Amino acid sequence: MDTNKMNSTTFEKKKIQGILKSVKNNMQFNFLFEYYVDYIKDYGANALIFLIWEEGRESEDKFSFRLRIMENGNDLKVVDLFGDCSSYYLGKGISIAMILRSKEMFNKRIISSSNKAKSFIGEANYKDATEKVWKRMVDSGLAEYDCLNDYYSTL
């Protein structure tokens, strides 16, 4: 049986927790996160599913971050990078901090979604993510752009 495509409801997902620190506009923020691995049918692959929140706001909406585990074994692709409905978490540096933390935690290259080299139907690299996250990382020497495949990647 292919364990990558097992029914995700068969087993309880092991959730791993951690602390995330971010800096934005010279302000430091502290967050908690948890993640688990699950097979996502729409991605056609396993993904790391993260929820990020500020202590004391556990019962409220959380920041969502997902990484598709790529077949090459070297890359994790950012496929979901969305703030909460109330926009409380926007502008607090979570996206860049989470990308860098993921690179460190999993010892993998983190790549952006692509509008050319798509891994699944519906994949897109949105302008906000490009402008507010990836281009800032390039400007800081933390990432580079692959114009042939239209994606950004951590260095």
Task: Please tell me the distance from the alpha carbon of residue 135 to that of residue 125, in angstroms, as a whole number.
Answer: 12
pLDDT per residue as tens digits for the range 127-140: 888 999 999 999 99
Q: Considering the chain, what is the average pLDDT of its residues?
A: 91
CATH number of the domain that 106 lies in? 3.40.630
Domain count, the chain: 1
Task: Please tell me the distance from the alpha carbon of residue 74 to that of residue 107, in angstroms, as a whole number.
Answer: 8
* pLDDT, position 8: 47
Any idea what the Cα angle at residue 150 is, between residues 123 and 20, rounded to 5°?
70
pLDDT per residue as tens digits for the range 79-97: 998 888 889 999 999 999 9
Mean pLDDT in residue range 2-30: 78
Task: Please tell me the distance from the alpha carbon of residue 10 to that of residue 33, in angstroms, as a whole number.
Answer: 24
For residue 140, the enclosing domain spans 3-154
CA dihedral 43, 66, 76, 8 (to 10 degrees): -50
For the whole prediction, is pTM greater than 0.85?
yes
